[in-house]
Amino acid sequence: MPDSADTNEAIWKSDAAISHWVSTAEDRERRRADERRLMAELLPFDKDQQFTFVDLGAGTGAAARVVLDYFPGARAILADYSLQMMEQGRRELSAFGDRYTYVEFDLARGPWPAEIPSEVDAVISSLCVHHLPDKRKGQLFAEILEHLLPGGWYFNYDPVTTEDAVVEAAWLRAGDRRDPEAAAKRENRTPGEQSRHENHVRYMIPLAPQLDLLEEAGFEGVDVYWKQLDHVIYGGRRP
């Protein structure tokens, strides 16, 4: 889709939207637990090794919390542009003391804030890259590569689309069987829900072009490390 005026800010900097997001987070994160853990398991560190990673578009820190739990020596830099999300995240991350810090960063624009070191050991992102236009996706992947130490890994957990109607129908069929209320929710969205849905999907693209963008940025080991229907974990390593 062509670039258009940003609509993310109206959602992710809204007190009402964040309140709704937080109120539904427990069930949502329970369903994502396996994927969160796999992202941590994919990182190439010993359990007690000390390292620094960046969580881009971190929100309330759901992904970072799993990595911090899995690696007691890890330190997280969480980057987000919603002050409301960061405030909630600080409450949810309080048990980790000084092992984390938040920095304000708008992924759609840049530049990278000075609080993020020029080189870090790893970068992760979850459910945010799909909000970026294709050109910005490619730019961001190149910027991530520049901020990784040689041998550093980047992993992204995100939804994708398909241009194959048969595949799309299969995804929808399986999703509706898993959630018997899904079809009714889809057909009876409120105006606010419809607006959030349109914002959610407007820059979403198939998987293959995103892998191409990673390779064009200079990553090696580019692969789909997990996939279930329309959600994937893909990534690569800086040579």
Residue 168 domain-assigned (yes or no): no
Q: In the chain, how many domains are there?
A: 1
> pLDDT tens digits for 178-209?
999 998 988 998 887 777 778 788 999 999 99
Residue 19 domain-assigned (yes or no): yes
Q: Is the pLDDT of residue 221 over 60?
A: yes
pTM confidence score: 0.88
Contact in structure between 89 and 66 (CB atoms under 8 Å):
no
pLDDT at 38: 98
Residue 181 domain-assigned (yes or no): no
Residue given tokens 């595949």 in the structure block: 167
Residue 217 domain-assigned (yes or no): yes
Share above pLDDT 90 across residues of the chain, in percent, rounded to a whole number: 76
Joined together, the tokens standing for residue 49 give 């090794």
pLDDT band at residue 49 under the 50/70/90 scheme: very high
Residue 145 domain-assigned (yes or no): yes
pLDDT band at residue 60 under the 50/70/90 scheme: very high
CATH, residue 101: 3.40.50.150
Residue 198 domain-assigned (yes or no): no
Residue 182 domain-assigned (yes or no): no
Average the pLDDT over 45-67 and give the result.
Answer: 97
Structural domain including 154 reads 8-161+203-237
With 0-12 / 13-18 / 19 or more C-beta atoms within 10 angstroms meaning exposed / middle / buried, residue 71 is: buried
Residue 93 domain-assigned (yes or no): yes
Helix (H/G/I), strand (E/B), else coil: 157: strand
What CA–CA distance (Å, rounded) separates 92 from 87?
9
Q: Is the pLDDT of residue 91 over 60?
A: yes
